[in-house]
Amino acid sequence: MFVIRCIAVIFFLLVAQTSWIPRLRIGGIGPDLFLGLVLVLALRKGTTWGVWSGVVLGLLLGVEEPATLGSESLALGLTGLAVGQASRSVDKQNPFVLVLLLILSALITETVRTLFTAGGNPGNAFLLWWRWVPGSVLYTAVFVPIFAYVSARLLGIRGWISGAA
């Protein structure tokens, strides 16, 4: 049942990410819903689930845009790894902690993406990082919790973070 719900959520997020989410972009920066999904799976199911879900979702995004194939998987996979490891020692019911974890995971994801985009040039990487990362992190940290809360209320899902790995 959990797997089926995951697949349904992935469908929904994929449709949203390719249809109306791009319209919410500000200066080319938009929220990352898949990051929120990796975060939830890593918190709920642990490191292994976090890494595999990050890699698979990254491949799914990479299929959409072949230039990012691999880099998205690595970024989301590392995020899943970090959050999975951090979830062992944090209070998963505290919303502030969750937002903090979201910010951390957004930082990791955007940094890895920026490094791949820079193509190995440190100067480019530095400039790109300042241009894209803070805005993306902020936008994701604000939008994803609101989106998740509204979705959970609409779908009647309660306690979707509870349940230790």
Q: Which stretch binds another protein (CB under 8 A): 49-57, 103-111, 145-153, 154-162?
A: 49-57
Give the binding-site size for another protein (rule: CB under 8 A).
27
Of the candidates 21, 62, 131, 138, which one interacts with another protein according to CB under 8 A?
Answer: 62
Annotate 16-39 with three-state secondary structure.
HHHCCHHHHCECCECCCHHHHHHH
Interface with another protein by CB under 8 A: which range of 23-31, 72-80, 96-104, 149-157? 72-80
**Per CB under 8 A, 138 contacts another protein:** no
* Min separation Cβ 30 and another protein, Å: 17
Taking alpha carbons only, the member of 50, 11, 14 closest to residue 32 is 14
Return residues touching another protein (CB under 8 A): 10-11, 14-15, 18-19, 47-48, 51-52, 55, 58-60, 62-63, 66-67, 69-71, 73-74, 77-78, 81, 116
